[in-house]
A = this chain, B = another copy of it.
Amino acid sequence: MKIETGDQVLIISPDEKTFLVKVSEDKNMGTHKGELKLGDCIGKSFGEKIYSNLEHPFLLLEPTLEDKMMKVKRHTQIIYPKDAAYMILKTGIQSGMRVIECGAGSGSLTMALANAVAPNGMVYTYDVREKHLENAKMNIENAGYSEYVEFKLGQAQEGFDQKDVDVVILDLPSPWDGIASAADALRGGGRIASLSPTYNQVEKCVENLEKNGFVYIETLELLLRYMQVSSGKTRPVDRMVSHTGFLTFGRKIIVEDFADEQFRQFKAPIDI
């Protein structure tokens, strides 16, 4: 498997700078360690190296989903890989599923969703801001996931075009605006996930989930702590990102099957 024109490559410098580039025969890239000819990548394998014109080695790596998510052109705060990964697993998204995302933001979560439903599923991603949608589209295209994503300009409150979807993901300042629409679009047993930075949003989101026929509601946050590993002096890294958002999950029931709000008693066990 040799690198070809059009491939994405993660190039690392010897001093820990990383560059996510699309290889083309006649493009050069300036770095702090000299100029790289991107054409030099062609015919190399991932794991090999090229040199800058100042004779510094640069390593060629295959970009992972995380690399792609972290390197999107950002118009908004991106969703962190740890949160995206857990939302996907917890809502049970898998190959072949149909998933609604509202809103698209910079497309980093969209990318992770597309990766999860490929090669047979589809992600429908909504945003009210045309400019953001365009940026997300470009990011998704660069990452090679266009085939699995439909972009929709529109508001959560107006409802979604799809029915019987498997999962709805809300990344909205007012997630409660999208909950009735989500309930309408989801099939029975389908999952919802919402990401919000403040506890106030979480509280209002949960209240609305309970009113709209969602059960097994859980809210949590994930903290990621890096370790500095070095023989004889291993320790946690000094600083960390302390908060990227609270994640709220729920599962859609067939409301008609229940008297009043009888379904409210079906809570998630706190699993400790």
Contact = CB atoms under 8 A, between A and B. Distances in A.
Interface of A: 1, 12, 14-18, 45-49, 57, 59-67, 70, 81-82, 84-86, 88-92, 94-96, 112, 115-116, 118-120, 187-191, 197-200, 202-203, 206-207, 215-243, 246, 248, 251-254, 257-258, 262-263, 265-272
A191 B64 contact: yes
Chain A interface, DSSP helix/strand/loop, else mixed? mixed
A66 B85 CA distance: 12
Given A61-B189, A200-B232, A269-B16, A226 B237 contact: no
A226 B216 contact: no
A227 B221 contact: yes
Nearest to A67: B92
Contacts of A236: 242-243
Contacts of A203: 200, 229-231, 234
B118 A92 contact: no
A155 B64 CA distance: 28
A257 B60 CA distance: 11
Contacts of A248: 229
Nearest to A121: B95
B227 A224 contact: no
